[in-house]
Amino acid sequence: MPLSVIVLGLLSAFAWGLGDFGGGFVGRRAPVAGVLLFGQLAGGVLSAVVTIWLREPMPGPADVAWALASCLGGAAGIACLYIGLSRGRMGVVAPVTGVLVAAIPAVAGIVLQGVPPAAVVVGIALAISSVVVVSRVGDAGDGRPSGLRWGVAAGLGLGVVTLTLSRITPGLVFGPLTVMRFVEATLFGLVVLGSARLPGLGARRMAWRIPRRLWLAVIAIGACDMLGTAAYIAATQAGPLAIAGVLSALYPVTTVVLAVAILRERLASWHLVGVGMAATAIVLITTGAG
């Protein structure tokens, strides 16, 4: 089994986790809608530049279709996740979403490509468990509903994206990704423009303007998200989907570690356990795959 699938999967987890950390950090200082909109635009521009630089062939109709399917699944998944986190209990919504995002490509890969070595199977199971543990957060005890249905819907939507991305023609990465990012930016732009007419949002249009001092940060967030998705696509083309999917799904570990290192947030005991489980899973998958 190529070592590249492990390296690319972990690179995807690091880049996605860094992007999520940056999005949360900047989202405290600027409108989230603007961060999403301009982050996707930045990612689209960067991926288009890389496509031209690498002289990557233009994606065919099938690859464009898979890219569009990924946009729809991703947009629906993110919407359900945000609704669930805002209306339900984060301690339920986050881990349920995380485990489905990790488990769906793992199960699909095993069904479609066969069962990997025993050590790899144990590592996959441990990695999925670590996502649950690391994503777990304390509940406020304010009587909120669990939000389980939103967590399941978000996990299914985002998990399906991991499958649609894996169907892109080998050798194509940044072309389909360019399509994805610009379509997603268009969708976010339409939401912002139409927000004044959406029920429950009031008469004012959704805030979206980003302060100039945060422009570079938003571009960096878009670049990280683009890099994470590109690395995941490449990982699925380099080796088994089960390994690529579960390693890339370790991105919550990156976010937690960065929050502790940079924001000095306290690391709860279950976070330490989850990080340790993730590290052990990586060792098992790496040694077992070799």
Q: What percent of the chain has pLDDT over 70?
A: 90
pLDDT-derived band at 145, boundaries 50, 70, 90: confident
What region, left, alpha or beta, does residue 224 occupy, with left being phi > 0 and alpha being psi -120 to 50 degrees? alpha
Tokens (6 digits) for 30? 């600027």
Q: State the total domains in the chain.
A: 1
For 97, how many CA atoms within 13 A lie in the half-sphere containing its CB?
Answer: 33
Among the ranges given (55-59, 202-206, 249-253), the one the predictor scored with the smallest mean pLDDT: 202-206
Query: What angle, 0 to 180 degrees and rounded to 10, lies between the N-to-C axes of helices 269-289 and 241-248?
Result: 160
**Residue 206 is part of which domain span?**
3-289
d(CA 19, CA 180): 17
Q: CA 253 to CA 101: how far, in whole Å?
A: 14
- Considering the chain, what is the average pLDDT of its residues? 85
Give the pLDDT score at 202: 45
| pTM to 2 decimal places | 0.88
The four Cα atoms 79, 85, 90, 94 give a dihedral, to 10 degrees, of 10
Mean pLDDT (whole number) for 220-243: 94
Quick: pLDDT tens for 245-263. 999 989 888 888 888 888 7
Q: Angle of helix 251-263 relative to helix 269-289, nearest 10 degrees? A: 130
Residue 49 has pLDDT above 60, yes or no: yes
